[in-house]
Amino acid sequence: MSGNAKFMMPGMSLLGSGALLDAGEEIRKLGYKKALVVTDKPLVDIGLAAKVTDMLNQNGINSAIYSGTQPNPTVTNVREGLKLYTDSECDCVVSLGGGSPHDCAKGIALLAGNGGEIGDYEGVDKSAQPAAPLIAINTTAGTASEMTMFCIITDEERHIKMAIVDKHTTPLIAVNDPDLMMAMPKSLTAATGMDALTHAIEAYVSINATPITDACAIKAINLIRDYLIRAVDDGLDKEAREQMAYAEFLAGMAFNNAGLGLVHAMAHQLGGFYNLPHGVCNAILLPHVERYNSAKAAPRLKDVAEALGRNVAGVTAEEGASLALESIEVMAKRVGIPSGLSALGVKREDFPVLASNALKDACGVTNPVQGSHDEIMEIFEQAM
């Protein structure tokens, strides 16, 4: 759709079984001496953080661990991590986990290189200097934060999620080893998988889509169609885990360059206001936002229906779009996503502030239909 495009991703991406072992050697080659490992308590408790620090140590790299990352990382998390980075005299950051540790690490690295508070960088490309070097080791198949320039941090005082879209937050190395994803519970597998599907679809209908992002998005949708349910049903299905790792990475390549839309702009507000899981919010909102988008993007949504396995031969664009929405809803239900926002405790009286904040979210700028406050309120209502 866009006539002038940039394409951005990490300089190196390590994918496939055993990629974690390769990561240590690559970090060693870069010459870093001490890493701040940013993760969360559950990954420390199951021994995965120790596995990473052992890998670093075997390659001559010392480390300190910040494990305070919350499921929706906060301004406080970034401040605490930055203090540990400085006090420990680290020279690089290694994030371990899903989107939350990666986003927290991006915030820490950005401030380590630029100073100030993380809120100073809300918006698009607000930093002047490179961030501290960041290597992102992924343990989920959904957010693609390990390879994108998107960083989402919750401002606890304002009860909103800040969207920081900055080229300097792109990790130097992204690591996707499906062996690290085998322990993901069903609920997290489902939520992160639906997050990846949302990334691919929003990128495909974006006003900034290009043939390159289209190819990434459609292939991601194909893989999610074939492997998400398998991964949810059997977390030890190695083929499904590996293919979902590729799917989320492809979806990340798509949205990192084509952008996101109203699904994410609205989901960020729900996550910041109620501290809800991001992928679940996306999954519930996705069919409702795309129904709204079908006024301008029906032909593209017909392509989505075909990528999801529907027969679209001889149907109109509008009919094809309806098939896409139906397929999204069927998949969400099959993997255990709640049917509406009311099940998450969302309250109608909060719609006005949620809609106002969604309009300000940087992720909504590439939506094919630029929604008004009242229209976003109506989408929230439909999603209840």
Cβ contacts of 220 within 8 Å, gap of 6 or more: 196, 197, 199, 200, 247, 248, 250, 251, 254
pLDDT given at position 2: 45
Q: Which two tokens stand for residue 113?
A: 């290189």
pLDDT given at position 1: 47
Task: Report how far residue 237's alpha carbon sits from residue 227's, in angstroms, rounded to the nearest whole number.
Answer: 10
pLDDT given at position 158: 87
Torsion angle of alpha carbons 306, 310, 312, 315, nearest 10°?
-130
Record the pTM. Answer: 0.94
Give, in order, the Cα–Cα distances in Å from 98 to each of 135, 230, 302. 13, 20, 31
Which residue ranges form the domains of the chain, and what is each CATH number? 12-180 (3.40.50.1970), 186-383 (1.20.1090.10)
Task: Report how far residue 40's alpha carbon sits from residue 271's, in angstroms, rounded to the nearest whole number.
Answer: 18
pLDDT given at position 160: 86
Task: Report how far residue 300's alpha carbon sits from residue 207's, in angstroms, rounded to the nearest whole number.
Answer: 11
Torsion angle of alpha carbons 69, 75, 79, 81, nearest 10°?
20
In what helix (H) or strand (E) does residue 34 lie, and over which residues does it extend? strand 34-38
Q: What are phi and psi of 380, to 5 degrees?
A: -55, -45
Task: Report how far residue 68's alpha carbon sits from residue 101's, in angstroms, rounded to the nearest whole number.
Answer: 9
Q: Which two tokens stand for residue 47?
A: 């021994």
Chunked mean pLDDT (size 10), the chain, 384 residues: 72 93 91 96 94 96 96 95 98 96 98 96 95 96 93 91 93 95 92 97 97 98 98 96 97 96 96 93 98 97 98 97 98 97 96 95 90 95 97
| DSSP-assigned states of every residue in 301-352 | HHHHHHHTT---TT--HHHHHHHHHHHHHHHHHHTT--SSGGGGT--GGGHH
